[in-house]
């Protein structure tokens, strides 16, 4: 994938994550502070834990850092897949947000 193609795909994924989180906040399903600075999204939870999602151009991956650990996702046929577990980005992020917020959250692209 070219650098430009990666940047576009990653930006689309980050936009979808931000929109999905904001939708959960607006629906009163989730109580979290969300901040986006460029290619980094930071979710801050009531217990002072954080989830950080960012695109990493050199590796052409989207990285997620959560209490449960670090996860790296590569684009594969329009989906972002964790290289170790095979999990899809939005499913994995839904699990991590649910764990850290204490409420069931389903995020989608």
Structure tokens at 43: 């979710």
Q: What is the pLDDT of residues 41-52, one digit of tens each?
A: 999 999 999 999
Give the DSSP per-residue string, 75-91: EETTEEEETTT--BHHH
pLDDT band at 25 (very low <50, low <70, confident <90, very high): confident
Give the DSSP per-residue string, the chain: --HHHHHHHHHHHHHHHHHHHHHHHHTTS--EEEEEETTEEEEEETTS-EEEEEEETTTTEEEEEETTEEEEEEEETTEEEETTT--BHHHHHHHHHHHHHSS------
Q: What is the pLDDT of residues 84-101, one digit of tens each?
A: 999 999 999 999 999 999
pTM of the model: 0.93
Averaged pLDDT of the chain? 94
């Amino acid at each position: 994938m070219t650098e430009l193609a990666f940047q576009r795909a990653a930006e689309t994924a980050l936009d979808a994550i931000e929109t999905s989180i904001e939708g959960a906040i607006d629906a009163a399903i989730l109580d979290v502070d969300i901040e986006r600075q460029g290619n980094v999204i930071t979710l801050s939870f009531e217990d002072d834990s954080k989830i950080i999602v960012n695109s990493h151009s050199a590796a052409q991956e989207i990285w997620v850092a959560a209490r449960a650990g670090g996860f790296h996702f590569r684009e594969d046929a329009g989906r972002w897949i964790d290289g170790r577990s095979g999990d899809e980005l939005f499913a994995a992020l839904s699990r991590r947000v649910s764990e850290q917020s204490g409420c069931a959250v389903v995020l989608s692209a």
